[in-house]
Amino acid sequence: MSTPVAIICGGGGFPLAVAEAARRAGREVFLVGLHGAADPDIAVYPHMWLKLGEFGKLFRSLAERSVKELSIVGSLTRPDFSDLRLDFGGVRRLPDIARILRGGDDHALRGVVRFFEDEGYTVVGAHDLAPSLLLGEGPITMREPDAAAREDIALGFALGDALSAFDTGQSVVVANRRVVAVEAAEGTDAMVERVAQLRATGKLRLKGRCGVLVKAPKRGQDLRVDLPAIGPRTVAAAAAAQLDGIALAAHGVLVLQRDDIAAEADRLGLFVAGVTRPAAGA
């Protein structure tokens, strides 16, 4: 293909990782950096900067480059109306934007996908552009989950299933078959950091290295939006919380800097593994 795919870049390291993997796979990329969120290093690729709400400018730029396909990658603090810098193209689309800004995360993100589709774009997932970033089945570390960890992982997956309908977080921490933390608005890393604090202050009493961070996409989730991901900070947080390891739903979670993560987890004695979830309702 000769026309580029646009990558709309939020915060964190994923947009650049996805751009790099897409290029390695032979795709041309055009990066659209969201002002105040995206890494300035996106400038090493063909790119533009955009304030939230400048939809006129965005669609003109994409049309100039014959872009028909786009992907939305990276973190974005849930915006507020006051964050919007609407250009004429934005004002014209205000009713759609208002609709998107209401409801849960998942609802909002599905709205963004629909918004771009209604404009005639094909929205692809980061895992489509960069399948090498998706973790498969099995450990990437020297250690792998033992029998006790597998029980915690099964409980974590079951809890995730029960929460799927509620459009909340994508991860939990289970230790000794007990749910000790559930993610919602704080995000995965902050949740794991809470477990470290609870252990340090004695509010949560666990012996030695124990417990698993379990992360999986919600059931029925559109993986083109909000594909779950972990990065190096997740491993550092899990080690600080003295967890035994990290279990990720196989083929459902992006892993950034996989080699670094595996090396760091090995150094800290953690496992990081893709684990196949039981079928829904099983």
- Which residues of this chain interact with its own copies, rule CB under 8 A? 77-80, 102-105, 155, 158-159, 162-163, 165-169, 172-173, 176-187, 190, 194-195, 198, 202-205, 207
Nearer to its own copies, 203 or 259 (CB): 203
Nearer CB in complex with its own copies: 91/162: 162
Strands of 29-34's sheet in order across = 47-50, 29-34, 5-9, 69-73, 122-123
Minimum distance, C-beta of residue 82 to its own copies, in the bound complex (Å): 9
Given the complex with its own copies, which of 64 and 205 has the nearer CB atom? 205
Compute the least distance from the CB of residue 8 to its own copies, in Å: 19
Compute the least distance from the CB of residue 197 to its own copies, in Å: 9
Query: How far is 251 from 258, CA to CA, in rounded Å?
Result: 14
Q: Measuring CA to CA, how many Å separate 264 from each of 36, 225, 279?
A: 30, 28, 31
**Per the structure block, which two tokens stand in for 179?**
């749910």
Q: Minimal CA–CA distance to 172: which of 105, 109, 107, 228?
A: 228
Question: Which CB atom, from 74 or from 139, has the smaller least distance to its own copies?
Answer: 74
Nearer to its own copies, 93 or 218 (CB): 218
- Provide the token pair at 210: 């124990």
CB 203, min distance to its own copies, A = 7
Among 203, 220, 272, which residue's Cα sits nearest to residue 244? 272
| Pair type for strands 212-215 and 171-175 | antiparallel
Q: Smallest gap, in angstroms, from Cβ of residue 254 to its own copies? A: 21
Mapped onto helix, strand or coil, the DSSP state of residue 20 is: helix
DSSP states of 213-280 as a string? EEE-PPTT--TTSS--EE-HHHHHHHHHTT-SEEEEETTS-EETTHHHHHHHHHHHT-EEEEEPPPPT
Question: Closer to its own copies at the Cβ: 66 or 82?
Answer: 82
Closer residue to its own copies (CB): 40 or 205: 205
- The least CB distance from residue 105 to its own copies, in Å, is 7
Tell the smallest beta-carbon distance from residue 49 to its own copies (Å): 21
Q: Would you say 106 and 164 are in contact if contact means Cβ atoms under 8 Å apart?
A: no
